[in-house]
Amino acid sequence: MKLPLSAFTGRRSGDCRRLRGLGRGLGILALGFGVLMLTLWAGAALYFDARVSWLRLPLAAGYVLGLLAVWVFIRPRYAIRLTAAAFAVVLAWWFSLPPSNDRDWQPDLATLAYADVTGSRVTLHHIRHCDYRTETDFDVRHYDKTFDLDKLRTADLYMVYWGSPSMAHTMVSFGLEGGDYVCFSIETRKEKGEGYSAIKGLFRQFELIYVVGDERDLVRLRTNYRKGEDAYLYRLRASPEQVRTFFLAYLRRVNELHQRPEWYSALTQNCTTSIRTQRAASDRAPWDWRMWVNGSGDEMLYERGMIATNLPFAEMKARCHINDRARAADQAADFSQRIRQGVPGMELGGLR
């Protein structure tokens, strides 16, 4: 029995209509989700970043409720235009908010480091070395020190877990011939009475700071005084030339922030992404999702051969845990040497 041609064309036509309908529905859902996210972000930006505190809630609520009314009472084609215009106004205002180096800072973050570079000689000013009695009770101290770039030998990565195993605070410490180390910690520069918030870190709430410190400050604070933080130490595989380039990239950012403040961003300008973006684009490591969810960053480095790989990863990581060694070393003058004892790869120096 032969079926008429119209039977086939009718089926295809119906299928096409259903596909177009499905595509249109998915498009509307995507548009709606996008509009919702932009509206919520703009409302949150008004709530967190409006400089007049009593205006924050009225501005945020008025923005969100106003756009809701637009979508209820105005045709979609006009509602989209009004939503885009409103978001553009908020975004332009948000980008215009200026960061500052002149606020009532927490004492340990009040003094910015800077560097004088003359040939192969570098003098770092305001290297922090706080004397801690507890996490919140300490004397702030700084010192200046001159380094010879020709004696730079190693770069080590600290990963400090402070809550979720998915997230860590990263620091980089540079070793010189003779056993000296200088450590860099990229942080939020908090004002007095201010605490860190991952949500607030998405907005214009914190300035960015590169803390240049003695390991007996930056490391010991996290291993010996803060509760619930676990520190892991990895030797990065790099030649002395690569270490020198890496070190100078840090110094450049230290001096830039000393002269001109910048905002911290939990997404684009944090303790891990800043390490990547401070380097020349041609010298940056390939992007990986673990640069954002950085608790697995050490596993990424292991896979890329950038840290010791002569042991299974789990065993290697366990041996890189330094809290017990740091507590035992405490205020010892050879703190930096003692916390590195038994850490895989330390005997190798830089490049393998």
| H or E element, residue 177 | none
Between residues 10 and 341, which one has the greater pLDDT? Answer: 341
Whole-number Å distance between alpha carbons of 60 and 96: 18
pTM: 0.88
DSSP character at residue 31 = H
Which tens digits make up the pLDDT trace of 170-182? Answer: 999 999 998 999 9
User: What value does the mean pLDDT take over residues 145-164?
Assistant: 95
pLDDT for residue 350 is more than 60: no
Please report the pLDDT score of residue 136 as a whole number: 94
* Nearest in space to 111 (alpha carbons), one of 96, 98, 126, 124: 126
Please report the pLDDT score of residue 284 as a whole number: 82
DSSP character at residue 150 = G
Residue 95 burial class via C-beta count within 10 angstroms: exposed 0-12, middle 13-18, buried 19 and up: exposed
Confidence of residue 187 (pLDDT cuts 50, 70, 90): very high
Please report the pLDDT score of residue 349 as a whole number: 53
Please report the pLDDT score of residue 8 as a whole number: 47
pLDDT for residue 160 is more than 90: yes
Please report the pLDDT score of residue 348 as a whole number: 57
Q: Report the Cα–Cα distance between both ends of the chain, in Å, rounded.
A: 77
Please report the pLDDT score of residue 32 as a whole number: 79
Please report the pLDDT score of residue 77 as a whole number: 85
pLDDT for residue 263 is more than 50: yes
User: Which residues 6+ apart lie within 8 Å of 204 measured at CB?
Assistant: 45, 48, 49, 94, 97, 99, 263
User: What value does the mean pLDDT take over residues 121-148?
Assistant: 97
Assess contact for 208 and 188: CB atoms under 8 A.
Answer: yes
* Nearest in space to 320 (alpha carbons), one of 295, 344, 285, 299: 344
Largest CA distance in the chain: 96
Which tens digits make up the pLDDT trace of 46-66? Answer: 999 999 999 999 999 999 999
User: What value does the mean pLDDT take over residues 136-157?
Assistant: 96
DSSP character at residue 166 = T
User: What value does the mean pLDDT take over residues 220-249?
Assistant: 95
Please report the pLDDT score of residue 82 as a whole number: 93
Strands (E) located in 149-260: 152-161, 169-176, 181-189, 207-213, 230-235
Please report the pLDDT score of residue 282 as a whole number: 76
* Nearest in space to 124 (alpha carbons), one of 113, 135, 133, 109: 113
Please report the pLDDT score of residue 222 as a whole number: 97
Which tens digits make up the pLDDT trace of 1-31? Answer: 555 555 545 556 666 777 776 777 777 778 7
Percent of the chain with pLDDT over 90: 78
User: What value does the mean pLDDT take over residues 68-73?
Assistant: 91
pLDDT for residue 120 is more than 60: yes
User: What value does the mean pLDDT take over residues 161-172?
Assistant: 93
Confidence of residue 163 (pLDDT cuts 50, 70, 90): confident
Please report the pLDDT score of residue 12 as a whole number: 62
* Nearest in space to 253 (alpha carbons), one of 102, 159, 115: 115
Q: Which residue has the tokens 């003094």?
A: 111
pLDDT for residue 86 is more than 70: yes
- How far apart, in Å, are the Cα atoms of 203 and each of 49, 50, 57, 211, 352? 7, 11, 16, 21, 42
Among 9-18, 158-167, 205-214, which is the least confidently predicted range? 9-18
pLDDT for residue 161 is more than 80: yes
* Averaged pLDDT of the chain: 91
Confidence of residue 277 (pLDDT cuts 50, 70, 90): confident
* Nearest in space to 257 (alpha carbons), one of 112, 126, 82, 107: 112
pLDDT for residue 285 is more than 50: yes
pLDDT for residue 352 is more than 50: no
